[in-house]
Structure 1
Amino acid sequence: MKKIIFTVLILASVLIQAKAQSAFTSVPVVNGKVVFQQFIHIEQELSLDQRYALLYKWGKDNYAGNPLLSGIRFDDKAKSITVSSKIELLLPQNSNGVREKVVMNYRFDATITNAGCMLVIRDINYQNAQSGNANFFPKTFTAEETITSTAISAVSGLDKEFRTNTQKSTLFYFNELYNDLSKIFSLGK
C-alpha cells in the first residue's frame, strides 16, 4: 500500500511539473527583431466569446491598475488584448557577487483563435537600473543587442555575464507569463 501511495505521489509531482512548461528556451529572431510566439491550445468546450471573456478578465485582473503598465487595449472585434508594460528583473549573481537589476519594457498581444490563443511578445528593451545616473538618464538596450546569441557571443567578461543573465531572467519571466495565461483556459484541470 505504501508503494502505491508513493508511486501516485511521484506521478502527481511529475504531472504538475509537466504542466508548468518552458515554452521559451531560446531567443527567436524574426526579420532582425526578437519576437517570442507561442500558441496555447484551448479545449473546444469553450466558445470564442467564452475564451475571450476569460482573456479579458485575465488582462483586467493582471494589468489594470498596475503602476508599471504603460497601456492596455482590448479589441472585442478581434478578440485580442495588447499590453505594454515593464518589470524590474533581478538578475542572477555575477562572478563579482553582484545581483544587478534591469527594467524590462515589453509589449504582448494575446489573440483568441478557433483553436486557442496566440501569444506574441515583442518590442523588448532594457534599462540598466544600476548604471551611473540611472534615475536621470538610464541607458536603454534593445533585446536584439542584449539577449540574442549573437549579442552574447560578441562580448566577454562582465558584459557577457550581464547579457547572459538578462537572457535567463527574460526567458524565466516570459515562461511565467505564458504559464499564467495558459492556466485561465484549463477548465479546472
Structure 2
Amino acid sequence: MDKVMEILKRSEALLEGHFLLSSGKHSNRYVQCARALKDTRDGEALGKIIGEKVKDLDIDLVVGPAMGGVIIAYEVGRALGKESIFTERKDNIMTLRRGFEIKEGQKILIVEDVVTTGKSTLEVKKLLEELGGVVLGVGCIVDRRGKDVDLNMPVYSAIKLEIESYDNDNCPLCNDGVELYQPGSRKMA
C-alpha cells in the first residue's frame, strides 16, 4: 500500500477540489489514475500489485472498461500472463467491439482504475455474463467505495481510500459556490 500511495502522490494523481463523478455524485477529492499510469514503470508496478492479489484465481481473461480500465487491465493481464481486452461505450451503452469476444464459460477478472459506486463495473459484468462469461471479481488500483456499496463480488484493490462523496442536491461544495469539474470520460445526461 505504501508503494501505491507513493505512486499516486508522486504522479499527482490525487486531486483536491470539486468534482463531478461518473456516478453523478460530487466529491472533494478525485483520483486521476491516468496520471499514475503515464509512467510505464508505475503502470507495471500497479499491475503486479493487483496481479499478486488475484494470482490464485483461475482467470482466463482480464477485461477493463474504456477509458480508465484499459491500461491497468493490460498490466494486470501481463502480470498474470493472461490476455486482456476492453469494453467501450457505443451510444453510451457498454459493449465489446474491435473483434473482441467472450467464450462460453470463460472465467474473467474485470479490472478498473477506480471503483466508487460500481456502476461501470456492474455494466461490464452484466455484458460479460450475457455473452457467456463467468465474472470472478473486480481488481482495481483504487477502491473508494463507501460502506453502503456492495458489488456482490470480490474486490481486489491495490489501495482502499476513504473519500467523501455527496448527492448533487446535498453537496456542501455546491452550497459554497466551489467550481465543479468533470474529469472523467463518461458522458453525463
Q: TM-score range by the shorter chain?
A: under 0.3
- TM norm structure 1: 0.25
Higher Cα Rg, which structure: 1
- TM norm structure 2: 0.25
